[in-house]
Amino acid sequence: MHLARFPRVRLGHMHTPLEAMPNLSKLLGGPNLFIKRDDCTGLASGGNKTRKLEFLMADALAKGADTVITQGAVQSNHARQTAAAAAKLGMKCRILLENRTGSNSVDYCNSGNVLLDHILGAPTQMYPGGADMNAAMAEVADEISASGGKPYIIVGGGSNAIGALGYVNCAIELVAQANDMGLNIHHLVHATGSAGTQAGLVAGLEGCRSLVPVLGIGVRAARPQQEESVYKLACATADLLGIPGSVAREKVVANTDYVGPGYGMPTDAMIEAINLAARYEGILLDPVYSGKGMAGLIDLIRKGHFKKSENIVFLHTGGNVGLFGYNSLFDATRPN
Ligand SMILES: *Cc1c(COP(=O)(O)O)cnc(C)c1O
């Protein structure tokens, strides 16, 4: 795979570190846990969307766009990183936020990522949960065109084949790091939502013929839907890479048992996972994605899903800015 064939702008700090989590490994009694720090991609607090935006923003620039439009949940990390990327590249950014959780709390609606969207210079428009966000983006694009601008729509989560190239890049990077460290990765685990991260990883790892299995922990959809959308996008990504047919359906595995009441809705296991990662490793996870992803990993470890001798890499996809949108869940005085 030769990613240099695709237009790319450099937005992130890469390679992101691949570190051991010895304290959490010991607490849980094995397996050996490692963490790939994509929370450290560096763009206005970082996160997984930065890798996708390197390819998406390059495409927007190649097409002559001066304004990017995107959408997400109110506490969208993708929207915040898109606003930062646009600022860095001298483009305008319009953000459409869907209130999927129905929360009216001041923290949720104004702090965390929303605060940073505004500081980064991107106006936000709020929509009720269930609104047709693609239609809303098309309307905003028409308005911008009518007033002489050149809009470029970035799909929710940046999850199309171009965006997924960012996670093909991560797959190549991870395999190279593991080779250098002599680390045999038995499983790669991460939170999966709009599917671009897992699709890019699976296509990239297959392209490297790495044999590293990926497990996505779902944060929204039920398993059949989640696996189908990841599989479809992984195939489209492989087509774009020029390796069509290289992703087998059974390489796409999602576990959606840790969603709880719904997208962005808290669970006790998520709160526990955030507290454990913080208090044993000094690592900040997020309440919507990586907290639930880690909750899934911890529960599977407790249920004996992994061998004690195995090496598990958790991909930290970022998002801890979102903690400030959920601060009532975390009582600072609560002991371990
Ligand atoms: C968007 C996001 C994810 C999910 O990635 P997808 O590519 O949408 O599946 C995971 N973690 C964080 C923090 C995110 O912002």
Task: Name the residue of 168, 194, 231 whose CB sits within 8 Å of the most ligand 1 atoms, as the mutation to test its pocket.
Answer: 194
Q: What is the mean pLDDT of each successive set of 10 residues along the chain, which is 336 residues long?
A: 96 98 97 98 98 98 98 98 98 98 96 98 98 98 98 98 98 98 98 98 97 98 98 98 97 98 98 98 98 98 98 98 95 61
pLDDT at 1: 86
pLDDT computed for residue 326 by the predictor: 97
Residue 197 CA to ligand 1 center (angstroms) comes to 7
Question: What strands lie across the sheet with 151-154, from one edge to the other?
Answer: 124-128, 92-99, 67-73, 151-154
Tell which one of 48, 154, 226 to mutate to probe ligand 1, the residue whose CB is within 8 A of the most ligand atoms: 48
3-state helix/strand/coil string of the chain: CCHHHCCCCCCCCCCCCEEECHHHHHHHCCCEEEEEEHHHCCCCCCCCHHHHHHHHHHHHHHCCCCEEEEEEECCCHHHHHHHHHHHHCCCEEEEEEEECCCCCCHHHHHCCHHHHHHHCCCCEEEEECCCCHHHHHHHHHHHHHHCCCCEEEECHHHCCHHHHHHHHHHHHHHHHHHHHHCCCCCEEEEEECCCHHHHHHHHHHHHCCCCCCEEEEECCCCHHHHHHHHHHHHHHHHHHHCCCCCCCHHHCCEECCCCCCCCCCCCHHHHHHHHHHHHHHCCCCCCCCHHHHHHHHHHHHHCCCCCCCCEEEEEECCCHHHHHHCHHHCCCCCCC
Residues lining ligand 1, CB < 6 A?
47-48, 77-78, 157, 159, 191-198, 286, 289-290, 317-319
Annotation says 229 is catalytic: no
Mutation to probe ligand 1, out of 43, 289, 314 (largest number of atoms < 8 A from CB): 289
CB-side neighbour CA atoms (13 Å) of 102: 5
**What atom of ligand 1 comes closest to residue 286's alpha carbon?**
13
Pick the atom of ligand 1 nearest to 191's CA: 10
CA angle centred on 259, ends 256 and 261, rounded to 5°: 135
Give the residue from 193, 214, 263, 160 showing the smallest Cα distance to 47.
193
- Give yes or no for a contact between 298 and 173, defined as CB atoms under 8 angstroms apart: no
237 closest CA partner among 281, 182, 180, 199: 199
Q: Which atom of ligand 1 is nearest to the CA of 156?
A: 8
Widest CA span of the chain, in angstroms? 61
Rounded distance between C-alpha atoms, residue 185 and residue 111, angstroms: 37
Q: Do residues 201 and 188 lie in contact, with contact meaning Cβ atoms separated by under 8 Å?
A: yes
Closest among 212, 198, 69 to 144, alpha carbons compared: 69
Burial 20-44 (b: 16+ CB within 10 A, else e): ebeebbeebeebbbbbbbbbbbebb
The rounded distance, in Å, linking the Cα atoms of 159 and 306 is: 30
- pLDDT for 317 equals 98
pLDDT of residue 331: 73
- Kindly report the backbone phi and psi dihedral angles of residue 137, in degrees, each rounded to the nearest multiple of 5, phi listed first: -65, -40
- For 254-268, give one letter per residue: b (16+ CB within 10 A) or e: bbbebbbeebbbbbe
Nearest Cα residue to atom 8 of ligand 1: 194
Q: How far is Cα 104 from Cα 147, in angstroms, rounded to an integer?
A: 33
